[in-house]
Amino acid sequence: MVAAAGTPKEVVARLNSEISRILNTPEIKGNLAKLGTDVCTMTPEQLGNWLKSEIDTWAKVVKAANVKLE
């Protein structure tokens, strides 16, 4: 989950804490597992780093495949 740019750090921290707590409860983890989804929580900093890495990776794939928007 993401928040809008400029969201105060304390709000992001609270949202991250509460969402992580809820997602890691046995009931939610079990329900998501039944849907084929694994729970993976991370800090806002880790998410930012992961997103940057994914953007860099897929940008290279798109460029190498010469994908064009129509």
- Global pTM reads 0.73
pLDDT of residue 21: 97
For residues 12 and 3, is the Cβ–Cβ distance under 8 A? yes
Where do the structural domains in the chain lie, given as residue ranges?
9-64
pLDDT of residue 28: 96
Average pLDDT over residues 34-48: 95
| Tens digit of each residue's pLDDT (9 = 90 or more) over 15-30 | 999 999 999 999 999 9
Nearest by Cα to 8 from 48, 55, 44: 44
Average pLDDT over residues 1-25: 95
Does 1 have pLDDT greater than 90? no
